[in-house]
Amino acid sequence: MVVELDAALPLGRFNDEIVVRTTSAAQPTITVSVLGTIEGDIAVLPPQVTFGVTRGALVEPRELFVRNRGRRPVAVTRVAVPAGITYELSTVEPGIEYRLNLRLRAGLLVDAGAHTLEVVRPGFESARRDFEIDSGEQLRLDVELAEAAVAVN
């Protein structure tokens, strides 16, 4: 059996089924899953990125490559990433290949407005800080927890 894909299929992943009819009384039809990815002139490798289970921003950066497989040069003109990720774009070969170095953003992302940060350690007095942050603003809060903290009985 030869399976041909429609040349007009859109770029991206597809998942479909083929039903094969037979003369078998025990198995008159067989369903075959057909999975694949239609790529265009530009490939992104790997096609997905995961940071896995992490402890804050301590995870190693991930590399993503944008490769031009077409006949004409292509440039990466803009990159949009979620708020929790930062990136560095570098050129491997102009018009052909670009590298994105993706990192988890260090720190805690919070919405604009008033907030309270409270650190609670069993057997010690809690440390509490109130702060306010504007949209898009970065703020650094240093909370120092000394070993000689006052024990609460």
Residue 124 covered by a domain: yes
Q: What is the pLDDT of residues 38-92, one digit of tens each?
A: 888 898 999 888 877 766 556 788 999 999 999 999 999 999 988 778 899 999 9
Q: What is the pLDDT of residues 94-145, one digit of tens each?
A: 999 999 999 887 766 677 888 888 888 777 888 888 888 888 777 777 767 6
Residue 2 covered by a domain: no
Total structural domains within the chain: 2
Domain-ending residue, one of 69, 89, 104: 104
Task: Verify that 95 and 132 share a domain, yes or no.
Answer: no
Task: Verify that 99 and 131 share a domain, yes or no.
Answer: no
Residue 1 covered by a domain: no
Task: Verify that 146 and 126 share a domain, yes or no.
Answer: yes
Give CA–CA dist 43/37, Å, rounded: 11
b/e map of 29-49 (b: 16 or more CB within 10 Å)?
Answer: eeeeeeeeeeeeeeeeeeeee
The domain containing residue 74 runs over which residues? 42-104
* Structure-block tokens of residue 84: 């929790």
Residue 10 covered by a domain: no
Residue 152 covered by a domain: yes
Task: Verify that 100 and 47 share a domain, yes or no.
Answer: yes
Residue 81 covered by a domain: yes
